[in-house]
Amino acid sequence: MQITPISPECLAHSLENLRKSRPLVHCLTNEVVQEITANVLLAAGASPAMVVAAEEAPGFTAVASGLLVNVGTPTPDRLAVMHSCARSAREHGRPWVLDPVAAGGMPWRDEQIRSFLDDSPTVIRGNASEILALAGLGSGGKGVDSTDSSDAALEAARVLSEKTGAVVCVTGETDYAVKGDRAVSISGGSEMATLVVGTGCSLSALVAAFLAVTDDAVTGAISACALAKRAAQIARGRSRGPGSFHNEYLDALYQIQPADFLGEEA
């Protein structure tokens, strides 16, 4: 597989577009991370909306800029709404992101997650254990945490991408956005992010936001990863633990400017 880093100019351009157009992201996410997901989008320069009722959600997807489906706390009712919205996204040409939380750990959940592959997600964003499991190559994580490194899931990402047609974004110490044989990568970030619930889930929302302002889903996915990694790195330098990290992360997402990506190695 051909792995290339993402160019600084490209990242700067993506963020500039995000800030200009402030895309509206329809978030169907789990019970635990709704607040941080909204706050990450707001801090970065997008606009979140959690519209969850079957009566109005699919219609809302049609007018939003992008959709997030995160199955962290699935129930049959919520899954039905998520499917309706995913189909609405496809019908109305809106990009949508699937976050297959804890794939590989529980059979009922796995069945539910796999059923979303038929709704043609634009991007599937997960950790290594989740992507390995979805590609049929893994042994499952521990709860929602990954027990594999993102490098180990690169081949699984390729398989899953070819099977589904989606860009597969596998995140960890290095983040990859994979489309068939092509992979783009970004390194950095901070392990402290794994001690704040919702940093991964909200990254998937951020991917949906960037998809709305980039021409190509590989670029959109990796732009979100790059912004998140950069913000995490800044936050780590300013924090003493996961409590302060959380705030510094939001502050950094807000402070980072397009030009900050220029003049350095990606």
Among residue numbers 54 through 83, which ones bind a copy of itself (CB under 8 A)? Answer: 55-56, 59-60, 64, 72-76
CA pair distance 222, 177, nearest whole angstrom: 6
Q: Which is nearer to a copy of itself, 119 or 248 (CB)?
A: 248
Per CB under 8 A, 253 contacts a copy of itself: yes
Which of 151, 155, 251, 260: binder of a copy of itself (CB under 8 A)? 251
DSSP string covering 114-138? HHGGGG--SEEEEEHHHHHHHTT--
Query: Residue 129 phi/psi, 5° resolution?
Result: -60, -40
> Does 189 interact with a copy of itself (rule: CB under 8 A)?
no
Verify binding: residue 229, a copy of itself, rule CB under 8 A. no
Q: Name 7's bridge partners.
A: none
Residues 6-45 that bind a copy of itself (CB under 8 A): 24, 30-36, 38-39, 42-43
181 forms part of the interface with a copy of itself (CB under 8 A): no
Closest C-alpha to 264, from 2, 4, 1, 11: 11
Secondary structure of 218-235 as H, E, C letters: HHHHHHHHHHHHHHHHHH
Smallest gap from residue 14 Cβ to a copy of itself (A): 20
Task: Report the distance separating Cα 10 and Cα 12, nearest Å.
Answer: 5
Binding site for a copy of itself (CB under 8 A): 24, 30-36, 38-39, 42-43, 47-53, 55-56, 59-60, 64, 72-76, 102, 106-109, 142-145, 194-198, 239-244, 246-255
